[in-house]
Chain A
Amino acid sequence: MSALYLLIFASLIVALGFLGAFIWSVRRGHFDDDYTPSVRILLDDNPEDTN
């Protein structure tokens, strides 16, 4: 059953990794604005010269 201990800790470390990633993303402001990026991606940087 000792494999179980190893697995449990491995799974916890993976989970903590995801928690860390989550905290990092909040800290970098990924959740500050859930609207603007959806608009920004649709706006082309270079104006088309057709009109």
Chain B
Amino acid sequence: MSTFSYSKNDTQTSHTCYHCGEDCKDEVLHTDNHTFCCEGCVLVYDLLKESDLCRYYTIDGAQGISPDPGFFNGKFDYLDLPEVASKLIEFTDGKLTAVNWYLPKMHCSSCIWLLEHLYRLNAAVRSSVVNFPEKKVRITFESSQIPLSALATLLTRIGYEPYLSLDDLEGKQKQKWNRVRIYKIGIAGFAFGNIMMLSFPEYFNLGQNTTDQDLRLLFGALNFALSLPVLFYCAADFFKSAWSALKGRYLNIDAPIALALLCVFLLSLYQFIFQTDPGYFDSFAGAVFFMLIGRYFQDKTYAGIAFDRDYKSYFPVAVSVLNVDTETRKPITELQKGDQILVRNEELIPADAVLKSAKALIDYSFVTGEAEPVERTKGDTIYAGGKQKGTAIELEVLQRVSQSYLTQLWNNEAFSKEKDDPNQTLAGRINRYFSLTVLGIAVVTFLVWFFVLNNPETAFLAFTTTLLVACPCALLLSSTFTNGNLLSLFGKNRFYPKNAHTIERLSHIDTVVFDKTGTITLSDDAVIDYVGRDLDMDELTIIKTLAVQSSHPLSRLIVKHLPGIAVSRRALTGFTEVAGKGMRALWGKTEVKIGSASWVGAKLDEGEVNRNSEVFVSINEQVTGQFTIKSKYRPELAETIVALKKAGIQTFLLSGDKPTDQEYLTGIFGDASAIYFEQKPQEKLDFIRDLQNWGGNVLMVGDGLNDAGALRQSNVGLAVSDDINNFSPACDAIVEGVQLSLLPAYIRLAKSGQRIIKQSFAISLLYNIAGLSFAVTGALSPVIAAILMPLSSITIVAFTTAASNIAAGRATRKVTNVINAQV
């Protein structure tokens, strides 16, 4: 076996693209004394220069985005259909129209600047305002001057293709919960502050004469009036959530809170009406205010990550429909049985269909996990979810989108099942007993004072202070803040759990199941060997130039594997590509073929079972050799498995692929029985279910839709992604690929989190016991109780924050040390 014999050209200096900042790997293009890596980048540069927008490059340096080469004219034509447009438009008055689009490519302050100067690119744009955290831009434009499709095209041409999903077409708009939440906090804070102020005289024992009595009545009435919006508006979510839990016959964390709030409010109301006491409206409003703030911070960490996408967001919004020689774009929701559709290279097949073209090469990696495309011939049925590779194909739709294969997979019960069993959360469990106990103590105290000691005044006082002092909000805060802080600590380590429940389930994990393709293998890198006679510089140039023409994944990998070779498009003529076979072109008078063995005319050795992908090369009908392409595993894989085993966690591998690299993987997983090949999505799901039936708490590590069922079925579904905006909707957490080695640390941190919650429960229990022992004797004044409550909360918050930070530091450091020691 020989390796490449080319030597690095010493005189060649590396160029970086002025637009996108990437190294220029192929041809270097020069324009205005700047270097560019591709035509696309030059086009954007020219466009910006024309409109005097070159300041784009001086803000953050070369941060541009190379426009999508797959773009074609007419891609957005469907946006001009009235029924589509009406669903995407936020506002229109006939002249001015506003849209609010999600641009996932937005990433830096240059982007903000450029997107807010769209009016210079097209005068019909009146204004554009960026919301960077949400990656959205609101564009107001004159609809008579620029159609919606032209606006989308404009954004795409400068590299920011708007993300339009089927959900937009079906008219689902994201709720403005964020604002409602802020209203609630604001109003609760307003009520809390004013009630406190009006209660001041009460705190300092206002005089008891008649004029003071009138004032007392006024203060009481105002406090009552102020607490009404808090009860009916701000605290409504607690009551709603508690009520729906009660209807489902269980107690959730909101149930005791709702009960305590209701008790305090009714008691205060009683005291106000009968003028026995000023009531505890201040504590009531304060408790709601603080709890709302806690929840706000908990949710805010995750505002940037939209977990509410479903499979539909992977589907194209519109597809080309052929109608006697004319091609129109039609939203796929309106696709009917019998429609003739045209699917281009790299496009997803939106519905089950029959192939009308002679041949198609379908990549089902999205559905089955199999990395190599399969060939289909005319008349075959092609299921939705496959991606066409190569030339455009014609299809006849068999089923409407909502009835297709992927949708069926999605409708499996595992997807509809809610994982959050309330009894599984630690806080929920403790809280349930705690609130029952507190209520019991309060009732017993009340009854003893009322009937045995015959002291109704003290009975009410003791009852209230007991409820107040033991208010479960300290407990609520301890789990809310610990988990909230852990969520952000996980986020800093590039691990994004969906919610607090995920952290808790993560702490119980004892089995980890890995998917292979795209999870433990690198999606954009592979080990490529070349077997055959040595190639000289010219031949390598020819091969690379030819490979650049194709969008086939193997061609891409070969291009990537020849970094030092320049691409020259000039000499290439007569290029043809036959999907599923290979390419042919003329280089001057030399005929070059790249592709399968039969395509180039190579003989395969008899008996040799080859499990790797192979690409053969022939020059002038002479087979020079072959590239073998093996998927490359994440370098940290071995250490990760070792660390997981050390922590007593079982590991399995499920692959949709053919059994390649069995020896290597057995070495890593230690046991051949832990590795399963050729698993269909349903089998993966069943495997996880079996493990769970054996009592396992399973963490599934996968990459996307093809294992979505398994991800959803597992206790924690972890999606590996190199782009956190691109992940499976079924997952509970996302991790960046390079961080996968930290998995043992993440599990350990989740465990520490549970310990911290227990510790802070213990602390608040101490508070409660001390407070309660005063309260039941009736010796505690409500004011002191009201002061004690936030004080204990603050202690708890301080404790959980400090403890979880220390735990996070320790967990990640330990793993890094282990890895460093092994390397």
Contacts and interface: CB of A to CB of B under 8 A. Distances in A.
Interface string A5-34: 100100110010011001100110001111
Contacts of A33: 131-134
Contact of A26 (B54, B132, B186, B190): B186
A51 to B, nearest CB: 6
A36 B183 CA distance: 21
User: Per DSSP, are chain B's interface residues mostly helix, strand or loop, or mixed?
Assistant: helix
B132 A43 contact: no
Given A23-B183, A43-B113, A15 B132 contact: no
B60 to A, nearest CB: 10
Nearest to A30: B182
B116 interface: yes
B130 A36 contact: yes
Interface string B197-208: 110000000000
Interface string B114-144: 0010000000000000111110000000000
A16 B725 CA distance: 42
A5 B183 contact: no
Contact of A39 (B109, B187, B211, B218): B109
Contact of B215 (A4, A36, A43): A4
A40 B110 CA distance: 10
Contacts of B113: 43
Contact of B55 (A18, A31, A40, A47): A47
Given A12-B194, A19-B187, A31-B182, A5 B133 contact: no
B190 A39 contact: no
A51 B186 CA distance: 48
Contact of B116 (A11, A15, A31, A40): A40
Nearest to A46: B55
Nearest to A36: B132
B222 interface: yes
B58 A31 contact: no
B109 A32 contact: no
A36 B131 contact: yes
A8 B190 contact: no
Interface string B99-114: 0000000000100110
Contacts of B54: 47
Contacts of A8: 198, 218, 222
B133 A26 contact: no
B112 A39 contact: yes
B89 interface: no
B178 interface: yes
B179 A31 contact: yes
A44 B56 CA distance: 11
Contact of B59 (A4, A19, A23, A43): A43
B131 to A, nearest CB: 4
A21 to B, nearest CB: 10
A11 B491 CA distance: 44
A40 B112 contact: yes
A40 B117 CA distance: 11
B202 to A, nearest CB: 14
Nearest to A27: B179
Nearest to A29: B179
Interface string B718-755: 00000000000000000000000000000000000000
A23 B132 contact: no
Contacts of A11: 197
A26 B183 contact: yes
Interface string B483-519: 0000000000000000000000000000000000000
A49 to B, nearest CB: 10
A34 B304 CA distance: 12
A35 B111 CA distance: 14
Contacts of B55: 44, 47
A39 B132 contact: yes
Contact of A15 (B59, B183, B194): B194
B186 A35 contact: no
A1 to B, nearest CB: 5
A32 B182 CA distance: 10
Given A4-B215, A15-B194, A32 B112 contact: no
B211 A1 contact: yes
B465 to A, nearest CB: 28
A5 B281 CA distance: 20
A32 B131 contact: yes
A33 to B, nearest CB: 4
A34 B179 CA distance: 13
Contacts of A23: 183, 186
A42 to B, nearest CB: 8
A27 B179 CA distance: 8
A35 B109 contact: no
Nearest to B226: A12
Contacts of B375: none
B526 to A, nearest CB: 39
A32 to B, nearest CB: 6
Interface in B173-202: 178-179, 182-183, 186-187, 190, 193-194, 197-198
B190 A15 contact: yes
Contacts of A40: 112, 116, 130
B170 interface: no
Interface in B74-113: 109, 112-113
A12 B191 CA distance: 11
A36 B137 CA distance: 11
Given A12-B194, A31-B179, A51-B58, A5 B132 contact: no
B215 A1 contact: yes
Contacts of A51: 58
A27 to B, nearest CB: 8
Nearest to A40: B112
A43 B515 CA distance: 45
B50 interface: no
A5 B179 CA distance: 35
Contacts of A12: 194, 222
B109 A43 contact: yes
Contact of A32 (B58, B179, B218): B179
B52 interface: yes
Nearest to A22: B186
Contacts of B132: 33, 35-36, 39
Contacts of A27: 179
A40 B116 CA distance: 9
Nearest to B114: A43
B186 A19 contact: yes
Contact of B52 (A18, A32, A39, A47): A47
A33 B198 CA distance: 35
Contacts of A26: 179, 182-183, 186
Nearest to A34: B133
Nearest to A2: B211
Interface of A: 1, 4-5, 8, 11-12, 15, 18-19, 22-23, 26-27, 31-36, 39-40, 42-44, 47, 51
Given A22-B186, A26-B182, A33-B133, 15 more contacts: A1-B211, A1-B215, A4-B215, A5-B218, A12-B222, A15-B194, A32-B131, A36-B131, A39-B109, A39-B112, A40-B112, A43-B113, A44-B55, A47-B54, A47-B55
12 contacts: A4-B215, A12-B222, A15-B193, A19-B187, A26-B182, A26-B186, A32-B131, A32-B179, A39-B109, A47-B54, A47-B58, A51-B58
What are the nearest 7 A-B pairs in CB distance? A47-B55, A36-B132, A33-B131, A43-B113, A19-B190, A39-B109, A22-B186
